[in-house]
Amino acid sequence: MHELFPVGGIWANSEASGLRRPYGLRQIFLFAIQSVKIELVEAETRLLLFKNFIVTSLLTVKPRKALLNRFITLSNAEVEEEDMRAELQYTQKRGILYTELDSQKKEIQRLVASHCGFACPDPVQVPKMVEQVNNKLMWLHGSFNIGEEEFPGNAEEKIRSEAATYIWINENCPDLPIPKLRGFGVPGGLSRIYPATYRSTDPESLSNLSNRPMLCHLHQLENWAIPSGIARNMTYTSSDSFYLDLLASHDNRLQYQRNAAYSEEDARTQAKDLVLMRASLHKFTDRYLHNGPFIMQLTDMHASNIFIDKDWNIKHIIDLEWACSLPLGDLLPPFWLTGMGVDQIKGPEYERFRASYEKFTEIFEQEETGIPLHHNGNLYSRAMAMRTALEDGRYWYLNALQTPKGLFNLFRTHLEPFYDKVPKESLCAAESPFWTPGMTSFVNLKLKEFTQYRQEVRDIFNSGKSGRPYY
């Protein structure tokens, strides 16, 4: 048997002697100190590795800046079609606006109480701007699409136009469930909304209309400091003059938007498309509707602005801000019937859309029999104009006029195929010089502007104008 030696009550085995012998307290203490040193070194090593990981991550993960509805990196911001010098600053400007509104909370309460007939403002509650629990922005908001900063007076024009629209609809279409008439329902769905709104024309409209058509895309251009070219007091007596002015707004976009073209080929191709769009005007519009009728149209009628019940009956429609009087030929089924963007309707998606388009037109035709449209002694069928618009190209041409970013894709996808095929290079070389005198000088200027634009985007992205970075 091995002999045991108790020293301090701690026993150990001696491999050399084959005996179990106890360590002294000094040896145990030194052993513990050494173990702690090893652990400290390992902890410092792990901390150093973690620091290196964080630094490496910060160097490799690109910072993002907040837009109104998403986040974006600098590299993506540089290639966006929108003017990102403006877009990058919207969240900061929204914050300034919200802070100003929040400071006037008591005044808002008093105003609402007054309109509601309350003697005291206490029942009126203004919700918190930000939810404290998850830092979520609670105030609903739209976008920056009025252009007030660049074109002062746009906001007042928009409010006057929207107020006049409510008055006009209440007087001429009292059965439509707009907010002032929220107690009325429209069980027939969207096909009842359209013909009910467009059943009335005003032969004396010249004495009543006092400003240009309120189209969202024109104000979005003005928001980027691009003049629409249409004066506020402009009214139209013919559809052609209206369409030509819309084309001129596309010219202005190419001319004034600093990032409108990123290469010589891009600039010349866009110019070519605009020349051909102007040359094709009478091919894709109805000359029999040149002088009217002009009818009230809800140009911003989409799913987000339509409230329905559980049976899909339309109960309320909101956002009449972009309603205006337009040529009858512009009354067309909405492009969002299948949930796609107007320039995404191609290939297999086109057949899906066509089926929905034909169904919509069929229902519309049934509904309009009870709501005839008379103008200057003539009876007009709105459904008939719709029925052929998709196949003869009018649908795509008229949508292109109101789609600044989508015009070129719509023209190349849906309108160019109506004509004989021509090599792209020769067509562009032949047509683009006729967009503006001195086309070569214009192209050189656009390339210079694009270089300057990208630098301006970088400067704004890397500054406080676009808010703090997110990783």
> Hey, what are 13's tokens?
């085995």
What pLDDT is recorded for position 46? 75
**Residues 401 and 256 occupy one common structural domain:** yes
Residue 138 has pLDDT above 60, yes or no: yes
* 121 and 13 in a common domain: no
Residues 55 and 70 in one domain: no
Q: How far apart are CA 470 and CA 452, in angstroms?
A: 26
Residue 159 located in a structural domain: no
Residue 395's pLDDT is 97
- Count of structural domains within the chain: 3
Check whether 32 has a pLDDT greater than 70: no
Q: Which two tokens stand for residue 182?
A: 């929220």
One domain for residues 233 and 113: no
Q: Say whether both 263 and 374 belong to one domain.
A: yes
Highest mean pLDDT among 13-17, 190-194, 254-258: 254-258
Average pLDDT score over the chain: 84
248, part of any domain: yes
Task: Please name the helix (run of DSSP H) or strand (run of DSSP E) that holds residue 297, with its range, or none.
Answer: strand 294-298
What contacts 204, CB < 8 A, 6 or more positions away?
none
Encoded tokens for 349: 């998606």
Single residue among 142, 173, 189 that ends a domain in this structure: 142
What percentage of the chain carries pLDDT values higher than 70? Answer: 82
* Average confidence (pLDDT) over 229-246: 94
Q: Are residues 242 and 336 in the same domain?
A: yes
Residue 155 falls inside a structural domain: no
Boundary (domain end) residue, out of 45, 61, 77: 61
Asked if residue 366 and residue 288 are part of one domain, the reply reads yes
Indicate whether 471 belongs to any domain: no
Assigned domain for 161 exists: no
Domain containing 48: what range? 1-61
Q: Running DSSP on this structure, what letter comes out for residue 470? A: B
Does residue 153 belong to any structural domain of this protein? no
The region of weakest confidence among 10-24, 31-45, 225-239 is: 10-24
Quick one: which H or E segment has residue 143? Answer: none
Task: Give yes or no: residues 383 and 422 share one domain.
Answer: yes
253 and 124 share one domain: no
> Which of 124, 142, 160 lies at the terminal end of a domain, its last residue?
142
Is there a single domain that holds both residue 54 and residue 70?
no
User: Both 17 and 54 in a single domain?
Assistant: yes
